[in-house]
A and B are shown apart, each in its own frame.
Chain A
């Protein structure tokens, strides 16, 4: 035996394909090819809208799953960006509409949403658990009524209409395929950022704060500052979704940021699961499909009952949402040798 045999082996470097994981590759391929099989309706009203709601729910997952802070104000934060698009961009409500180009209005809206998010967070981090939910619900409710009653800035009840998605690179980005791919790109970027960030130093810090804020102070961390920064990051995601929402609907009104939609985001996140960033997107697809087709099944007056019942069943059967069901199902697949177990480290 040669000496070389005793040399410790270098750590095996995984290829990018292995690091990405077979699940991500298959999902990515499906989403990229989805426009080939989907109608325009399924591309935007189901696909694009699911990804927008999924991003808002992802911003909640970041706060709740990693930071232990459940917020009901995520749709409000998305609304900030949407109103910026309406007020600083173009609208046909004859109120404001400063005509800023999209490439200034959109980043400005996202940044302002993140600042508002950090401000909401700065108020909310003084509380824990149910009190955080109550404070953020109060912020969401107050914002809704303020937007509804203030005509100077928010144009009151009707809000703003005639918001147009940009025309750039030879494409009108509200057409079904471009809009779908725009939503997919934003959602994929947000998903990848959260997944990567969960194992970053900041991500570990946030999870440690969730587990034991007192101990984090005792090892030198400014707990409040880290929590507020998590709200800022969450606001970037919700703000991006807010811009897409404005372009998707072509309008923004107080109804978009009402208490009902605020609670919907929480329902989406819980149905999907808060333990992994894919959960909010799963929840969004399920809720959007139900919102769209429940009317055909049980009629217009009962579709919310159907969604409510489905929510109850999910929470009852699997507190971790659809992700929890998947986790239960997955080991049996492994035993059968259908696929190799992922190493769990993610991307």
Chain B
């Protein structure tokens, strides 16, 4: 039903989930991003590939508001969010995960996910302890189940394994009612089994949730995306389906280091 609500909302606006127009970000003389123009439809799942230093994470930081772009506009479901504070963007349904896990090491798994659910609810502030009937607590329990962390609900996050911390990263991004998620190398440091689990989790997300995934593991990236954008030196230089990208000689030259064609 939530899918229908989201779909009708989107039909109403006719907007793209995410629109970037000429987004640039400079750090002094360093040009980290330049002229990024990108349109992503609601529910679309896109991979952004590129070598280290290509500007992929900088692109995410600009979209989530970790820092403001030097130039260009960013629209989220038709609304200009270029100057909004990060938490305001999150409340509109944007989510992200981090390349290096950004978690609450002294909180339990359940408390962490509960806070993530509560953070995007209207009643995020309370001086009372969470009650068992709190709907955010129920949602936290169900998200914990989705990312297979049920057995670790009361463990402190700092004591979790790397793989479990990556799962928790995803759990925090799924809290509330996400409309679009930015996944920053979710498979980094995962074992082959954990990668298979990750692919299953991403493919099982409701269809109305779109995302961009940055991933160096092409096996993962191309199996969970419908469209691929390639970045190099802060620019977008190629877009296409996974097959087109995989067979593009220029992509192979830059991204895979040549010798593949």
Contact A214 B102 (CB under 8 A): yes
Minimum CB distance partner of B92 in chain A: A220
Instruction: Tell me whether A220 and B126 are in contact (CB under 8 A).
Output: no
Q: Let me know if A220 and B91 touch, CB within 8 A.
A: yes
Interface residues of A in 220-256 (CB under 8 A from B): 220-223, 226
Question: Are B127 and A215 within 8 A (Cβ)?
Answer: no
Decide yes or no whether B64 CB sits under 8 A from chain A. yes
Partner of A204, one of B85, B90, B111, B120: B111
A197-B127, A208-B112 are known contacts. Are A214 and B87 too (CB-CB below 8 A)? Answer: no
Is the Cβ of B116 less than 8 Å from the Cβ of A219?
Answer: yes
Bound Cα distance A284, B22 (Å)? 60
Q: Smallest CB-CB separation from B116: which chain A residue?
A: A219
A291 proximal to B (CB < 8 A):
no
Q: Which residues of B contact A216 (CB under 8 A)?
A: 115, 119
> Are B104 and A200 closer than 8 Å at their CB atoms?
no
The answer to whether A201 and B102 have CB atoms under 8 Å apart is no
Quick check: A211 and B106 within 8 Å, CB to CB? yes
Q: Is B176 a contact of A200 with CB atoms below 8 Å?
A: no
Q: CB within 8 A of A211: which of B105, B118, B129, B172?
A: B105
Kindly state whether residue B130 has any CB partner on chain A within 8 Å: yes
- Of A197, A200, A215, A222, the residue contacting B103 (CB under 8 A) is A215
Contact B104 A215 (CB under 8 A): yes
Report A226 CB to chain B, min CB distance, Å: 8
Interface presence of A172 (CB below 8 A) = no
> Shortest distance in angstroms between A270's beta carbon and chain B's nearest beta carbon?
19
- The answer to whether B106 touches A215, judged by C-beta atoms less than 8 angstroms apart, is no
Chain B residues whose C-beta falls within 8 Å of the C-beta of A196 in the assembled complex = 129
In the complex the two chains form, what is the Cα distance from A205 to B90 in whole Å? 16
Interface: B216 (CB within 8 A): no
Whether B235 is near chain A, meaning CB under 8 Å from some CB there, is: no
CB of A302 within 8 A of chain B?
no
Q: Which of A197, A221, A223 has the most CB of B within 10 A?
A: A221
Q: Which of A199, A217, A219, A223 contacts B115 (CB 8 A)?
A: A219
> Chain A residues with Cβ under 8 A from B116's Cβ?
219-220
Question: A221 with B102: in contact, given A201-B125, A201-B126, A205-B115 (CB under 8 Å)?
Answer: no
CB-based nearest A residue for B182: A218
What's the minimum C-beta distance from B235 to chain A, rounded to whole angstroms?
A: 26
* Bound-complex Cα distance A243 to B66 (A): 43
A221 to B91, CA, bound (A): 9
Q: Are B112 and A200 neighbours in the complex by a CB distance under 8 Å?
A: no
A202 within 8 A of B: yes
- The count of chain A contact residues (Cβ–Cβ below 8 Å) is 24
Choose among B90, B120, B129, B176 the residue that contacts A201 (Cβ–Cβ < 8 A): B129
B127–A202 touching, CB < 8 Å: yes
Across the interface, name the chain B residue whose C-beta is closest to A199: B129
The smallest C-beta distance from B189 to any residue of chain A, in angstroms, reads: 18
- Tell me the minimal C-beta distance from B147 to chain A in angstroms: 15
User: Is B144 in contact with chain A by the CB < 8 A criterion?
Assistant: no
Q: Does B166 contact A (CB under 8 A)?
A: no
Chain B residues near A222 (CB, 8 Å)?
Answer: 85, 87
Q: How far is the CB of A11 from chain B (nearest CB, A)?
A: 9
Minimum CB distance partner of A218 in chain B: B96
Cβ contact of A207, chosen from B64, B107, B129, B172, cutoff 8 A? B107
Contact (Cβ within 8 A) B126 A200: yes
Taking CB atoms and an 8 Å cut-off, the chain B residues in 50-67 that contact chain A are 64, 66
Instruction: Flag if A218 contacts B90 (CB, 8 Å).
Output: yes
Report if B245 contacts A (CB, 8 A): no
CB-based contact B128/A207 at 8 Å: no
| CB closest residue in chain A, given B118 | A201
Q: Which residues of chain A from 19 to 51 have any CB-CB distance to chain B below 8 Å in the complex? A: none
Interface flag for A212 (CB, 8 Å): yes
Answer yes or no: B86 CB below 8 A from chain A CBs.
Answer: yes
Q: In this assembly, does B26 line the interface, its C-beta being within 8 Å of a C-beta of chain A?
A: no
B9 within 8 A of A: no
A327 to chain B, nearest CB (A): 15
Interfacial chain B residues near A226, Cβ < 8 Å: 125
With A196-B129, A217-B86, A218-B96: A211-B119 Cβ-Cβ less than 8 Å: no
Q: What residues of B have a CB within 8 angstroms of the CB of A208 in the complex?
A: 104, 107, 111-112, 115
Given A217-B86, A218-B64, A220-B176 in contact, is the A204-B102 Cβ separation under 8 Å?
A: no
Mark A128-157 against chain B: 1 for CB-CB distance below 8 A, else 0: 000000000000000000000000000000
Q: A214-B66, A218-B90, A220-B90 are in contact. Are A200 and B129 (CB under 8 A)?
A: yes
- A201-B126, A215-B172 known; 6 other A-B pairs, CB under 8 Å? A204-B115, A210-B106, A212-B104, A215-B103, A218-B95, A220-B90
Could you show 28 A-B contacts with beta carbons less than 8 Å apart? A199-B129, A200-B126, A200-B127, A200-B130, A201-B124, A201-B126, A202-B126, A204-B107, A205-B124, A207-B104, A208-B107, A208-B112, A211-B106, A211-B107, A212-B102, A212-B103, A212-B105, A215-B102, A216-B119, A217-B66, A217-B87, A218-B95, A218-B172, A220-B90, A220-B120, A220-B124, A221-B115, A221-B119
Residue numbers of B with Cβ under 8 A of A are 64, 66, 85-87, 90-91, 95-96, 98, 102-107, 111-112, 114-116, 118-120, 124-130, 172, 175-176
Q: Which 3 A-B pairs have the closest CB atoms?
A: A220-B119, A215-B102, A220-B90
